[in-house]
Structure 1
Amino acid sequence: MEAIAWIGAGSLLAWLWLLLGQGFFWRTDVRLPARRDPDRWPSVAVVVPARDEAAVLPASLPTLLAQKYPGRAEIFLIDDGSTDGTGALARELAAGAGGLPLTVASPGEPEPGWTGKLWAVRHGIALARERTAPEYLLLTDADIAHEPDSLRELVAAARSAGLDLVSQMARLRVATPWERLIVPAFVYFFGQLYPFRWVNRRGARTAAAAGGCVLLRREAAERAGVPEAIRHAVIDDVSLARAVQDSGGTVWLGLADRVTSVRPYPRLAELWRMVSRSAYAQLRHRPLLLLGTVLGLALVYLAPPAALLAGVAAGDPVVAAPGGAAWAVMCGTYLPMLRYYRQPPWAAPLLPFTALLYLLMTVDSAVQHYRGRGAAWKGRTYGAP
């Protein structure tokens, strides 16, 4: 029991540090910075990489076509070897909806050393340079829906704050019980790993972006050498932000109010694959980092309820108190994210169980990597670069 008491105390200290010393990651008030309309609206190319996205395009592509942008904007949907008619469907949707001009193209299979998404992005940027020489690139996934003023607000924010990269973490779908359990925690853990306030500081050492919605100044992309410089990256959004930052660019990341993901993850299996396909890549395929992550998750998320229950069962308040206090702090930091996703407060105590699932997903990601099936996405598997 004495060992459990020390573990509970260590977990409480860890949570006090996370509460106060990790960039207030748990707050959800980091939204687009103050902005005003520029005197001249720059030209924008919207690049949409798409592979077998016919199921979600009817809910996402019309929102891009309907953008109310005062300047020149054009959409380039790059069909990355789809087998479900993605390209043809995109043309049909554009013909029926009108709006911004749409170009659909296919670059063929990626060259060695490229991930499929970045190969498609490279082709889309090249087309945009030939057609319009845009000042900005909006890189957005095929499952992301935008409110009509989304592009306008992104450009205004980038211009007003002098930012080279503006990224919004799209509000993910939370319709099924498994989505309600896992999705808010996914964004919560991402913010814990990359505190938005740290990312947004000038001269920051922390760099991150959310790949579903990235507005990037073309000159900054060229200076950073992207996408060529990150062509092998599985976690391409974070790699993109790091490349822009390392080349002297300014990066901003926050939560979105008017950008949403329409991709469904109705069952645990789909959510498991979403996390496990890149979790070990996040740890740079290093066994020691995997071990440290497992131990850290156990100490921070699993130890508090274990210590509380053990102390209550033994009638020992010295054991129960630090575990209960750590669990309470954990729940308090999770409440803002639950409110952002319009979920009930009583879901907060379930976070240790969700963290256990993420721990198992991370271990499974490593197992799949060593079996040669890591970082798999829609028929392609990527190993360590």
Structure 2
Amino acid sequence: MGQTAHVSADAWTSVVTVVSALSLAAWLWLLLARGFFWRTNVRLPAQEEPDAWPSVCVVVPARDEAAMLPASLPSLLAQDYPGRAEVFLIDDGSTDGTGELACELGRRQGGLPLIVASPGEPPAGWTGKLWAVRHGVDLARRREPEYLLLTDADIAHAPDSLRRLVAAARTGRFDVVSQMARLRVASVWERLVVPAFVYFFAQLYPFRWIGKDRADTNGGAGRTGTAAAAGGCVLLRTEAAERARVPDSIRHAVIDDVALARAVKGGGGRIWLGLADRVHSVRPYPCLRDLWRMVSRSAYAQLRHSPLLLAGTAVGLALVYLVPPVAVLVGATTGSTTAAVLGATSWLVMAGTYVPMLRYYRQPVWLAPLLPFTAFLYLLMTVDSAVQHYRGRGAAWKGRTYARPDAVPDEG
């Protein structure tokens, strides 16, 4: 009996050792071959001010954002932009007086012209946000702007934000220049979850790969085809939007920013995405429940509502993030030096790649070893996203629930 138990323990230790070796191999690949996703120095590219500044229309979809507007809308109206610019705030069926407050802020603030409008309820096949964006873009096109700035109602911009975005787009000849707004990090849960959210996003969509053109064969097909944007701040050339039929071509997309980037890049456009220094979110996520809702509402949509992709994601997260601490624990309790060293090395590489993001968010580096715990939370959020989807409550946001894309009618 005792000998059988000893053999079982040895077999378990051997399995953990092999799996921890796979985890370390995965981390070495992520460290060196995933576009250096962990570096945070991808910031707004080089800018030269043009001789003649192009016209820009700013489109802000807003649904029940009265609490956010006082901290965000005035920053748009106060933009120091040398060219012609207007702001279109599209009230997406708000019940908290968002539209009225926006008008009041516009009268009080002054600055750029503000137009507040409402498109009514979205038709079948459209998400509310994209229906509001379409209405705003239709209004903006009457001014014939060269660029559209799509930004959310909870995003505040430094006074020179629009100026720098346009200069970067003109200098680099980009059709899309998008910045990942710096999210709020104040509560305990925000400190644990928010930097990891951006870290995971960059791991999934390495910023350096996004900026590569499809014609650039040096990066390989997978790299040049990588496309993503951050919906809080997207400067979009109007001609590229028309060529890609945005937003109509992505009307049912829950993850609309990535869909927009894919549509533009798929049509031959050039896109750029990086971290922001002077664009930030004013939305608080004080409780885990708030962060959970933010992630779970779109996590399963990110996996294209595929049970197979969900299973693969769960296995991948476990292998990469959960195996290292488990291997250290098993090695310490069984005396397996190999398992402990492999697990500790993987954990060290993991923590090391997370440190730059913590520094970007001005957080203490001792949070880095806690990344496996945060990854476990994200795994639970993703599973919950799938559960809510099959219960008919997937992609629920502000009173609306959206069907999976292949369940909506095609409007041609």
The alignment's TM-score, normalised by the length of structure 2, stands at 0.93
- Provide the residue aligned with 1:5 in structure 2: 17
| Structure 1 residue matching 2:126: 3-state secondary structure | coil
Secondary structure of 1:202's match? Answer: coil
Number of the residue aligned with 2:92: 80
Which residue in the other structure is 2:159 paired with?
A: 148
Whole-Å separation in 1 of the counterparts to 2:90 and 2:47: 31
Aligned to 1:273: 293
Partner Cα distance (1:231, 1:216) in 2: 17
Between the aligned partners of 1:56 and 1:197, the Cα distance in structure 2 is 32
Paired residue for 1:311?
331
2:193 is the counterpart of 1:182: yes
Counterparts of 2:57 and 2:26, CA distance in 1: 45
Corresponding position of 2:386: 366
Q: Report the RMSD for the aligned CA atoms in angstroms.
A: 0.4
Using the TM superposition, give the Cα deviation of residue 377 of structure 1 relative to its aligned residue in structure 2, in angstroms. 0.5
Cα displacement (A) at 1:121: 0.2
Q: Does 1:334 align with 2:345?
A: no
Equivalent position of 2:46 in the other structure? 34
CA distance in 2: counterparts of 1:91 and 1:141, whole angstroms: 17
1:109-153 Cα offsets, whole Å, 9 max, x none, are 0011000000000000000112x1111000000000000000000
Amino acid at match of 2:381: M
1:256 counterpart SS class: strand
Per-residue CA deviations over 1:294-322 (Å, capped at 9, x if unaligned) read 00000000000000111011122111010
- In structure 2, C-alpha distance between the alignment counterparts of 1:344 and 1:236, rounded to whole Å: 33
| CA distance in structure 2 between the aligned counterparts of 1:72 and 1:231, rounded to whole angstroms | 29
CA distance in 2, matches of 1:8, 1:220: 46
Aligned to 1:94: 106
Question: 2 CA distance for matches of 1:200 and 1:125?
Answer: 25
* Structure-1 residue corresponding to 2:183: 172
Q: CA deviation at 1:383?
A: 1.4
Query: Which segments of 5 or more consecutive residues in structure 2 lack a partner in the other structure?
Result: 1-12, 215-223, 406-412
Amino acid at match of 1:98: G
Q: Aligned partners of 1:129 and 1:2: how far apart in 2?
A: 64
Is 2:371 the partner of 1:375? Answer: no
Kindly state the Cα deviation for residue 186 of structure 1 after the two structures are TM-superposed: 0.2
Count of matched residue pairs: 384
* Structure 2 partner of 1:349: 369
Instruction: Give every structure 1 segment of 4 or more consecutive aligned residues whose post-TM-superposition deviation is greater than 2 Å.
Output: none
In the TM superposition, residue 270 of structure 1 has moved relative to its aligned partner by 0.5
Distance 2:251 2:308 in 1: 26
Q: Does 1:249 align with 2:261?
A: no
Q: Distance in 2 between matches of 1:383 and 1:113?
A: 8
Determine the structure 2 residue equivalent to 1:229.
249
Distance 2:52 2:240 in 1: 19
- What 5-or-longer segments of structure 1 have no aligned partner? none
Equivalent of 1:70 in 50, 73, 82 = 82
Structure 2 counterpart of 1:48: 60
Provide the C-alpha distance between the structure 1 equivalents of 2:52 and 2:237, rounded to a whole number of angstroms: 15
Q: Which residue of 1 aligns with 2:207?
A: 196
1:168-219 per-position Cα deviation (integer Å, ceiling 9, x unaligned): 0000000100000000000000000000000011212000000000000000
Query: Residue 343 of structure 2 aligns with which residue?
Result: 323
Match of residue 21 from structure 1 = 33
Deviation of the 1:72 alpha carbon: 0.1
Structure 1: how far apart are the matches of 2:48 and 2:270? Answer: 19
Shift of 1:63: 0.2
Query: Within 2, Cα distance between the matches of 1:361 and 1:53?
Result: 25
2:306 to 275, 286, 293: 286
- Deviation of 1:364 (Å): 0.2
Identity among equivalent pairs (%)? 75
Q: Identify the match of residue 108 of structure 1 among 114, 120, 124.
A: 120
Give the partner amino acid of 1:45. Answer: C
Distance 2:330 2:184 in 1: 36
Aligned mates of 2:164, 2:333 — CA distance in 1: 55
In the alignment, does 2:127 pair up with 1:127?
Answer: no
Aligned-partner Cα distance in 1 for 2:49–2:229: 24
Cα displacement (A) at 1:335? 0.2
TM-score normalised over the length of structure 1:
0.99
What's the secondary structure of 1:148's corresponding residue? coil
Tell me the SS of whatever aligns to 1:52.
coil
Instruction: Give the secondary-structure state (helix, strand or coil) at the position aligned to 2:368.
Output: helix
Indicate the structure (1 or 2) with the bigger Cα radius of gyration.
2
